[in-house]
Amino acid sequence: MPIGEGASHSATPQATPAAEFPPIAALRSDFIWGVSTSSFQIEGATREDGRGPSVWDTYGWAGQTTSKDTGDVACDHYHRYREDIAVMQRLGIQAYRFSVAWPRVLPQGRGQPNELGLAFYDRLIDAVLAAGIEPWLCLFHWDLPQALDDLGGWTTRDIVAWFADYAALVASRYGDRVKRFATFNEPSIFTLFGYGFGGGKRDTTGVESLHRAIHHVNLAHGAAVDAVRARVAGSSMGAIHNYQPCIPSTPADGEAAVRGDLYWNRAYPDPQCLGVYPEMLQAAIEPHMQAGDLERIQRPIDWFGLNHYSPVFMKADAAARLGFTFGDRPPGTPLTPINWPILPDAFRDTLLTVAKDYRLPVYVMENGLGGYDKPDESGAIADDNRIAFLRAYIGAMNAAAAGGADIRGYFVWSLLDNFEWDAGYRVRFGLTYVDYATQARTPKASFHWYCDLIKAARGRT
Ligand code: FCB
């Protein structure tokens, strides 16, 4: 493993030159290399052209993000998308994953569509295609229309029909040009942080609101799969899950880790791909279940989208609503600058697990490193730590493929530095540096490395 063992917090492995590539021989010759972004994190223009507010606008405007940042301007991608597509072209990616902002196309979340918002994604998709890049469209990356949150958000079963109508609108509008659709990004994260851990805005009924939300998101997934399939010839569909090993912090935390795994990893893929809730969740979901629901959820999909950064360490906490919370990592665990463990073997193991358990081709839809990148005096961004991270993780993916996992593509998070949710603009995940004062985009060293890797990978015979 090229990552320095026991490295400190700003682990920057020195062992190998930046240009060295990981082994990729086990990856398919038609493997897809891409990057991912999401609407709220890059678009800005939150009050423009008829867009309605989302829950993330509400948090930001009320000063509820730790950073106090809002998404009002973000990367100004709404106006600069052509420049950003030129950046993608320069990077040489084959596929671009983005999300549609539900409140941009349906300001109230339902009812009257917003033609100006719909037209933005027409322009975006047309320009992505003209650049020779395949658009991958995610329907939901956390920017729930505020108007729907006011009506109960994911805790009301009505949202299943609202989401299906939204999916139908998007599919009918773009399905002539977009074939790859994901329903949800990381359902367990927005439900756990919104309803599960406490403090979320709509957690008034405690953990019951989480169980309702889990079931309604699963139903909305199934309904959206049907809505897209019925409208898009040749569609290829999946959902995107953050699947991370849940490791007990101490030997006494085994049960906490099992419960963590249940909510963090399995509450969505199990019913969606296998048609059953994990046994330990069944009693909690039962009160919200209607006849036929599991069939409604388990609609045929084409692939499993995996987001993975690191494992999570869990510990028991009797005071926590779900009985578990985040625990310490073993001393000496290599960490990224934002203190996420660097453990590529866990990525390899996760790929093998999801490929075996869910029996679908896997696309890695997010992987990358967050840091506090800064240009040096010459203006260059020497993010060797990100290169080392990508090298180690892509190498681990190759090992999983060699071990039999059917992996079809890999998307780096992210094309650009962007609004990193609660952490705002300070934390940077981009291959491209964004100077938020000028909105100038500067490719980092990792950009050039990934560009060269894609060339080398695609040049294989
Ligand atoms: C994932 C999110 C994505 C981004 C990365 C760093 O959990 O899907 O939007 O914030 O983490």
Ligand 1: which residues within 6 Å by Cβ?
A: 38, 41, 185-186, 189, 242, 307, 366, 413, 420-421, 429
| Amino acid, res. 365 | M
Give the distance (Å) from ligand 1 centre to CA of residue 61: 21
Q: How far apart are CA 61 and CA 55, in angstroms?
A: 10
The predicted structure's pLDDT at residue 202: 52
> Which is the closest atom of ligand 1 to the Cα of 242?
7
> Which is the closest atom of ligand 1 to the Cα of 429?
6
Q: Any residues with CB less than 8 A from the CB of 104 and at least 6 apart, and which?
A: 39, 43, 49, 51, 52, 114, 117, 120
H or E element at residue 442: strand 440-443
Each residue's pLDDT tens digit, 36-70: 999 999 999 999 999 999 999 999 999 999 999 99
Q: Record the tokens describing residue 452, joined without a space.
A: 């060269």
pLDDT at 205 over 90: no
Residue 347 sits at φ, ψ, to 5 deg, of -65, -50
Q: How far apart are CA 452 and CA 461, in angstroms?
A: 16
pLDDT at 8 over 50: no
Q: 200: pLDDT confidence band, cut at 50, 70 and 90?
A: low
The predicted structure's pLDDT at residue 206: 73
Residues assigned a catalytic role = 186, 366
Give the distance (Å) from ligand 1 centre to CA of residue 111: 29
Is the peptide bond prior to 67 cis by the omega test (within 30 degrees of 0)? no
Average pLDDT, the chain: 94
Give the distance (Å) from ligand 1 centre to CA of residue 384: 21
Q: How far apart are CA 386 and CA 403, in angstroms?
A: 25
Give the distance (Å) from ligand 1 centre to CA of residue 143: 13
Pocket residue to mutate for ligand 1, from 136, 138, 308, 420, most atoms within 8 A of Cβ: 420
Each residue's pLDDT tens digit, 268-283: 999 999 999 999 999 9
- pLDDT, average across residues 12-33: 79
Q: Any residues with CB less than 8 A from the CB of 82 and at least 6 apart, and which?
A: 127
Q: 1: pLDDT confidence band, cut at 50, 70 and 90?
A: very low
